[in-house]
């Protein structure tokens, strides 16, 4: 028995169904859209950078969109739009990326133990810290520290061997 639809017809129907279910996404940030952003958006963007880079606001585990918008004297919708436009992510992702970078630096310097590390980096719990670390680094914090220590040991060995060979 022959089917009612050919493969091409099935494909067209499937594509039409997908278009109905998943409408085209609005792209908020084109390459040159940052140039067309309003002065207020650029000001908020600069203030976000200041809060993240200089004030390390990501270390506050209670920071959220509402608190951050109050701090920057704007509303949550506008702040969210600025973050999406300039950083291409949401606030949680932005903060977690910086928290993980900070955690990596602490792990490299061996300045804190793994029990206190999540709190020092601004995470509310160990589980959210480990989940974020695995998401961005694809390795557990203990393995990251061990790998970094292994690299440092190899560097010291290389320096010692170089010193012995030059004598």
Which residues are within 8 A (CB) of 166 and not within 5 positions of it... i.e. 6 or more apart? none
- Torsion sign, CA atoms 28, 32, 33, 34: positive
Read off the tokens for 37.
């952003």
Return the CATH class of domain 92-167: mainly alpha
Q: DSSP assignment, residue 59?
A: G
Vertex 83 angle, CA 102 and 121, to 5°: 20
Residue ranges per structural domain of the chain = 29-88, 92-167
* pLDDT tens across the length of the chain (167 residues): 444 434 444 444 334 443 443 333 333 344 455 556 789 999 999 999 999 999 999 999 999 999 999 999 999 999 999 999 999 999 999 999 999 999 999 998 877 888 999 999 999 999 999 999 999 999 999 999 988 888 888 888 888 888 777 76
pTM for the structure as a whole: 0.71
> Contact, 102 vs 59, CB < 8 A?
yes
């Amino acid at each position: 028995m022959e089917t009612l639809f050919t493969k091409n017809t099935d494909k067209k129907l499937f594509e039409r169904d997908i278009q109905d279910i998943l409408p085209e996404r609005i792209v908020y940030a084109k390459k040159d859209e940052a140039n067309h952003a309003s002065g207020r958006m650029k000001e908020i963007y600069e203030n976000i950078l200041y809060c993240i880079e200089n004030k390390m606001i990501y270390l506050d585990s209670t920071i959220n969109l509402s608190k951050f918008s109050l701090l920057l004297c704007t509303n949550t919708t506008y702040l969210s739009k600025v973050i999406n436009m300039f950083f291409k992510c949401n606030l949680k992702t932005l903060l977690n990326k910086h928290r993980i970078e900070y955690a990596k630096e602490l792990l490299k310097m061996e300045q804190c133990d793994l029990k206190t590390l999540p709190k020092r980096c601004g995470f509310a719990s160990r589980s959210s810290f480990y989940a974020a670390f695995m998401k961005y680094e694809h390795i557990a914090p203990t393995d990251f520290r061990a790998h970094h220590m292994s690299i440092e040991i190899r560097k010291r060995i290389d320096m010692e061997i170089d010193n012995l060979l030059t004598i």
